[in-house]
Amino acid sequence: MKKIKIQIAGKVYTVELAETEGQHESGLQGRKELKDNEGMLFVFDGNESRSF
Amino acid sequence: MKDTDIPLDIIFINDDLEVTTIHKGKPNSIELLEGEGSYVLELNQDSGVKVGDELDFEPENKRIKKTDKMLVLDSGGEVQMELDGGERIFSRKHTKTLIQFAKKAATTDNENDYKALGKRMFKFLDIQSNTTPEYVESKN
């Protein structure tokens, strides 16, 4: 998955970009750990309410 | 979050890149979390992110500090306009092009026309990002 750098609340993170439905489904499943400067960003079409 | 062992902050972010909701994701729970947004960001729990925080795709060190001032000068060197530093200005030519593309998209409401507008914007923004700033001495 593509990785990008983002900043939020004063901290810079390197996050994996989850764009496709498949990537949305898998997310961070099966991962044993996540570093404090890492994360995952899910991108959706539209601004509606969603359940996650 | 099923099948996920890590406790996470589940952060919902809207189109304006503002955090709208934060949930604490419990490891391996099948509870459905609701929120509003074009983006959901997952970070380790207790990330310190709060509702209202802004998501930035361009980390701080690349940006011009807001304290820098920018003066737009006319050909005689007189100040036409004062701006906070870091403002981007589109040339008359680029502005005209963007307006044409925008008008077309607004008329046809066609996704391809919106795509073309978007691509053109990226192209011009890219030119701005990669052009070395040119500064001249102001008279004052």
B28, B40, B54: best to mutate for the A interface, most A CBs within 10 A: B40
B36·A12 Cβ contact <8 A: no
Confidence band, pLDDT 50/70/90 cuts, at residue A35: very high
Q: Which residues of chain B have pLDDT under 50?
A: none
B35·A34 Cβ contact <8 A: no
Q: Is the pLDDT confidence value at A1 over 60?
A: yes
pLDDT digits (tens, 9 = 90+) for B114-137: 999 999 999 998 888 787 777 666
Q: Is the pLDDT confidence value at A20 over 90?
A: no
For residue B86, the model assigns a pLDDT of: 66
**What is the interface pTM, i.e. ipTM, of the complex?**
0.92
For residue B116, the model assigns a pLDDT of: 94
Q: How far apart are CA B124 and CA B88, in angstroms?
A: 11
A34·B60 Cβ contact <8 A: no
Whether the full predicted model's pTM is greater than 0.80, yes or no, is no
Q: How far apart are CA B116 and CA B72, in angstroms?
A: 30
Chain B residue with CA closest to A28: the answer is B4
Nearest CA distance, A3 vs chain B (angstrom) = 12
CB distance B13 to B39 below 8 Å: yes
